[in-house]
Amino acid sequence: MMPVPVNDAASLLLVLAVLLPILGLCAMLGLRGLHPERVARVAVPLGVALAVAVLVEVWTGGQALHYTLGDWEPPLGLRLRADGLSAVMLVLSAVIILAAALFSQRQFRTPEGIAGDTRAPFTFWSMLMAMWSALNLVFLGEDLFNFFVALELLTFSAVTLVCLDGRTATLHAALRYLLFALLGSVLYLLGVALIYGRYGVLDIGLLHELVQADPVTLAAVAMMTVGLMAKASLFPLHLWLPPAHAGAPPAASAVLSALVVKAPFFLILRLWFDLLPPLPSPLAGQLLAALGAGAILLCSLVALRQARLKLLIAYSTVAQIGYLFLMFPLAAGPLAFWETIGWTGGVLQLVSHAFAKAAMFLAAGLIAETLGHDRIGEFAGLARRLPVAVAAFALAGLSLMGLPPSGGFNAKLLLLSAAAASGQWWIAAVILAGGMLAAGYVFRVLGAAMADGPAGEAGGPPSPLARQLVVLALALVAVALGFVPLQPFALLGIGREVLP
């Protein structure tokens, strides 16, 4: 039986983590004179502090935090819950958003001498706030319909950011993204409706006790999974991602690739590990892993052939998402899933990819600003012009390739060991091949940038050092994750064994 959740001061942090960004959004929308970037300067540090406080609270307390909203217990009411994994995701989001906000303070500043707000800064900051709130709700929610609302918030804010510059090409990309995302929403909602029709409750903890592997349940979870796959851009539903992530402003691309596609993946994890009973057949997990393998191999190959840096990074995102889906067959076995190295490796891949990819997109933003383009073929001389940005790109690339020391290395080593230990050699082969291909596309960019050439002189003034250091810091975190121990972490297990 679950412990009775108590609404104490510590668990109120969860409510604040979801609502603080919304308050920021309301301040930006309601009071034009405040200027959105100034509101963000207050809201972002506060949000980071909240996320860190939740992590500290969960870590030191050794158990999950719960907050029952309005004191209405599920199944009637809603609940927020932070276990070890959610706390890690909260802090990850907060740090990436902090970096994106620091990077964008100058780019999206309301011009001097204007009393009200202006289009691009207002849209950027308000949507960043909404997206943050949606992410936090995905990581803290416990109710299938509540997740749907979070996904809607996420979709509307993400799509708007994609077409922020208003060019025909980005509008086209945003519209395509919207159609894929709405298809995903419809499938997800159909699944939720079937689950409610079958069990009459939507709280994950309650469902966990009721659920049976009957056709209706499996069909519902399958539909929800496909819907979430479209939103997470798992191969072959990835077609919308490259133009969308390559067309958004750099800070938005960083958040989209690092966090927004991870949110639906996080929900797939919750469905498969927290809601469903252990499946009688391993076939479904193998199928997801096969799609992941397809993403790794095909999209890495496509990334190799890209002429533009931002598109290359976007295709790399699709490939790296593929690794996450290798978790499903690798976390199976006699152990509890959170004690397997397969699960730990997957979570580490999620976190280190977030840092590495955010660093890469921001570095690409600096490069495009300085050169006025992002055509890899004309990068010769770049390393002399923007040494810090190129170094950050290289360090982030280390993690994507899976070379030590980096978070990506540890993640891929854990996944590889899990694949070898369970005799799933084809997965091991895919992980190795994916690393080689990633090395191919990363070195293609570095090789071009290191060459001697005219890019050293042309274009606008170099970016301020502070912005370059933000990018470097993100890449260094991706590297530093290479020093975490190669074993399941106690933190990620907190709150798992007493799953509500």
Partner 1 sequence: MSEPFALLLTLLVLLTAGWIVTVRERRAAVFGFIAYGLLLALVWIRLAAVDVALTEAAIGGGATGVLLLRVSARLGSIRGMSAPPGLATRWIAGVLCAGVSLALMALVLALPDPAPSLAAAAMEPIGRTGLGNPVTAVLLAYRALDTFLEIIVLLLALIGVWSLGADRFWGGEPAAWRTGPPSPALVFLARVLPPFGIVIAGYLFWIGADEPGGKFQASTILAAMWLLAMMAGLAPPPRTGARGLRAALVAGPLVFLAIGFAGLWWADGFLAYPDAFAKPLIILIEAALAVSIVAALALMVAGPAERLPRR
31 in contact with partner 1 (CB under 8 A): yes
| Phi (first) and psi of residue 295, to 5 degrees | -60, -45
CA distances to 2, 89, 438, 500 from 5, in Å: 8, 22, 45, 9
User: Cα–Cα–Cα angle for 221, 227, 230, nearest 5°?
Assistant: 140
Question: Which residue, 171 or 301, has its beta carbon nearer to partner 1?
Answer: 171
Question: Which residue, 31 or 436, has its beta carbon nearer to partner 1?
Answer: 31
Q: Which residues make beta-bridge pairs with 79?
A: 68
109 in contact with partner 1 (CB under 8 A): no
Least Å distance, CB 364 to partner 1, is 23
From residue 462 to residue 491, the character string flagging contacts with partner 1 as x (rule: CB under 8 A) and all else as - is ------------------------------
Least Å distance, CB 223 to partner 1, is 9
Cβ-contact 174, 240 below 8 angstroms: no
Least Å distance, CB 181 to partner 1, is 13
Cβ-contact 424, 329 below 8 angstroms: yes
Count CA within 13 A, CB hemisphere, residue 288. Answer: 25
**Binds partner 1 by CB under 8 A, chosen from 56, 59, 75, 456:** 75
User: Which residue's entry shows tokens 């260094």?
Assistant: 476
Cβ-contact 246, 310 below 8 angstroms: yes
239 in contact with partner 1 (CB under 8 A): no
Candidates 160-168, 304-312, 359-367, 471-479; binding stretch for partner 1 (CB under 8 A): 160-168
65 in contact with partner 1 (CB under 8 A): no
d(CA 442, CA 459): 24
306 in contact with partner 1 (CB under 8 A): no
CA distances to 161, 193, 229, 360 from 173, in Å: 11, 30, 18, 21
d(CA 301, CA 412): 19
Q: Where are the alpha helices (DSSP H) in 63-202?
A: 84-104, 119-140, 144-162, 168-199
**Binds partner 1 by CB under 8 A, chosen from 1, 4, 76, 283:** 76
182-211 positions binding partner 1, by CB under 8 A = 190, 194, 197-201
**Binds partner 1 by CB under 8 A, chosen from 126, 233, 300, 352:** 126
User: Which residue's entry shows tokens 């890495």?
Assistant: 300
d(CA 85, CA 140): 10
d(CA 59, CA 66): 14
Question: Which residue, 211 or 486, has its beta carbon nearer to partner 1?
Answer: 211
228 in contact with partner 1 (CB under 8 A): no
Structure tokens, 141: 């929610």
160 in contact with partner 1 (CB under 8 A): yes
Least Å distance, CB 267 to partner 1, is 16
129-158 positions binding partner 1, by CB under 8 A = 130, 133, 137, 145-146, 149-150, 152-153, 156-157
Q: Which residues make beta-bridge pairs with 203?
A: 143
Least Å distance, CB 146 to partner 1, is 6
119 in contact with partner 1 (CB under 8 A): yes
DSSP string, 115-150: SS--HHHHHHHHHHHHHHHHHHHHHHB-BHHHHHHH
Least Å distance, CB 57 to partner 1, is 17
337-396 positions binding partner 1, by CB under 8 A = none
Binding-site ranges for partner 1 (CB under 8 A): 7, 12, 15, 19, 22-23, 25-26, 29-32, 67-72, 75-78, 115-120, 122-123, 126-127, 130, 133, 137, 145-146, 149-150, 152-153, 156-157, 159-160, 163-164, 166, 171-172, 190, 194, 197-201, 215-216, 219-220
